[in-house]
Structure 1
């Protein structure tokens, strides 16, 4: 059992997302950083899609009421177990009564924006439409369909079991880096209405820096930069959208649909952040600046193959560690 000791941290229970329900108007939800979720679960011997706690605001505290192995991935959050500092991207062992605190690194500098707390066996909450992810807008899934708050108690699927600990990984931000002119970058496929925008706007989109504004959350990232101007006013019917789609409202300032995005919308579609880079976007802090890189379909597929290959290496490293003789 894990008891939440924090309030107003906006932490939620998330797994890999709710697949196959867009046809009924139900969004995907799921972890904003799917690589951090999958890697943390693999290190614990869980299913890669097992539910975990996603923490976007620090400090965040939980108390373990039973012995439990856990992994911390995603943002570097200056974690401590009682008074002991913990390594990020590492597997640790908690004993009953110990308190885990996630906070900002000293000086406030932060690498990444969301931490994933994975536990042995996954966070045990009921499945809704095939997923344990929290759907905040619909108020279902996760823990009572809402963000976690002080006093909430969650169960770990394999609390009390022995698990190999004290090993970790180099995070994908270091092994799969992608930057343009020193800024984090994500790759984008041009979308249906791309050519409906002025060439100067299309060029500016790729050449400029874009700020992630304070009006950004799990539903969408609102960007600030040079406005994107259409060749002529566009009025289109609402149509299906998915996480990663970049829409352009009348203001000309793009909105990137994120994991809690609604399943339809009527703004013109300028581009789509490729699936392989959504984790990069999910870790971009509010107020930071990002760049975009234009790619084609073949490059998008190759990028997805690269992330899957990285997870394959994680699985092999974990298996080697688990098969090695236990040191006394």
Structure 2
């Protein structure tokens, strides 16, 4: 085993990029909430982008390292320390056996991700290692981590071994060392009041003119009843021009449904597979990490974006990811 869980934090689970191909059977996609943070964390340690990571929510765990390991921490700021010394995020970190990694409450953002060279080793269920908490499968026994749990990791790549050797030599007698280079925080989503880009939904025109205007001009607050399944928002009441009877249809992450009470819900990673409420909009995929990093009580505003521009923004993000990967390999001297 690679680590032992001393304390589990509020909600720490194993996640990857999701479980695809089973929604017709009622199995949701799930997976990590902030996928760019996952991909960068994996690239930093030489993994494939979809390797399993630990997702930390609001309050992080305390972990005991049982072997030397190469890790990376990305996403929200949880003030991580190794043996009581602050460790920097958004870079590769080599950690010596016997060290203790401890996370605090999130100072910024809502979720952080801990990758390890090789990826966390849990069984693959329906093509994914992600934890499905509601159904109780995947990840580690289908649940959040508990004190006393032990996790291993898969064999690491040649790049990971090369980088780990560099950092081990740099560490000398210290408990850990990290790269001088890092990924700037500007590449990650930050939970703050800002515009979240939204494509008009199938029933957008069925809402009153006042509701459509309020949707894009007024702020909404994240409710404490929000979770991995959906973010409930409070704000101006969104009303239909007349009642609708809709047939339940497939939904995706970022779908914004409006129940009869008029307060929207943004469906997230653990969403149901179908929904019957009117859809006023869809959060552009490129802005989903902003939602994932929002904490209860924080506010957001919606901005309209066309489908074409949303696709272009996503394409630009993918290009940036490829540039990050190439840049890391050149910096390490791997190529």
TM-score by length of 1: 0.92
Distance in 2, Cα, partners of 1:184 & 1:274: 14
Aligned to 1:209: 219
Aligned to 1:95: 96
Aligned to 1:131: 128
The answer (yes or no) to whether the contact 1:13–1:142 under 8 Å persists in 2 is: yes
The answer (yes or no) to whether the contact 1:56–1:113 under 8 Å persists in 2 is: yes
SS at match of 1:149: coil
Displacement of 1:56: 0.4
Number of residue pairs matched?
Answer: 318
The answer (yes or no) to whether the contact 2:65–2:98 under 8 Å persists in 1 is: yes
User: Kindly tell me: are residues 97 and 175 of structure 1, through their superposed partners in 2, closer, same or farther at Cα, counting changes over 3 Å?
Assistant: closer
Q: How does 1:33-52 map to 2 (within 5 A)?
A: 33-52=34-53
SS at match of 2:145: coil
Distance in 2, Cα, partners of 1:122 & 1:253: 39
The answer (yes or no) to whether the contact 2:254–2:282 under 8 Å persists in 1 is: yes
Q: How does 1:50-199 map to 2 (within 5 A)?
A: 50-104=51-105, 110-158=107-155, 161=161, 163-164=163-164, 165=167, 166-167=178-179, 168-171=181-184, 174-175=186-187, 183-199=193-209
Distance in 2, Cα, partners of 1:315 & 1:186: 27
Displacement of 1:293: 1.0
Displacement of 1:8: 5.3
Displacement of 1:161: 4.8
Aligned to 2:29: 28
User: Kindly tell me: are residues 300 and 84 of structure 1, through their superposed partners in 2, closer, same or farther at Cα, counting changes over 3 Å?
Assistant: same
TM-score by length of 2: 0.90
1:206-257 Cα distance to aligned partner (Å, 9 max, x none): 0111101100000000001001010001221221111110000011000000
1:88-141 Cα distance to aligned partner (Å, 9 max, x none): 212111111111011137xxxx22110100011000111111111111111111
User: Kindly tell me: are residues 40 and 34 of structure 1, through their superposed partners in 2, closer, same or farther at Cα, counting changes over 3 Å?
Assistant: same
Distance in 2, Cα, partners of 1:112 & 1:131: 26
User: Kindly tell me: are residues 224 and 133 of structure 1, through their superposed partners in 2, closer, same or farther at Cα, counting changes over 3 Å?
Assistant: same
The answer (yes or no) to whether the contact 1:80–1:102 under 8 Å persists in 2 is: yes
Which residue, 186, 195, 210 being the options, matches 1:200?
A: 210
In structure 2, runs of 5+ residues without a counterpart are: 168-177
User: Kindly tell me: are residues 59 and 13 of structure 1, through their superposed partners in 2, closer, same or farther at Cα, counting changes over 3 Å?
Assistant: closer
User: Kindly tell me: are residues 315 and 89 of structure 1, through their superposed partners in 2, closer, same or farther at Cα, counting changes over 3 Å?
Assistant: same
User: Kindly tell me: are residues 169 and 202 of structure 1, through their superposed partners in 2, closer, same or farther at Cα, counting changes over 3 Å?
Assistant: farther
The answer (yes or no) to whether the contact 2:72–2:114 under 8 Å persists in 1 is: yes
Q: Structure 1 stretches (4+) deviating beyond 6 angstroms?
A: 176-179
Distance in 2, Cα, partners of 1:169 & 1:280: 21
SS at match of 2:326: helix
Distance in 2, Cα, partners of 1:260 & 1:324: 38
The answer (yes or no) to whether the contact 1:77–1:88 under 8 Å persists in 2 is: no
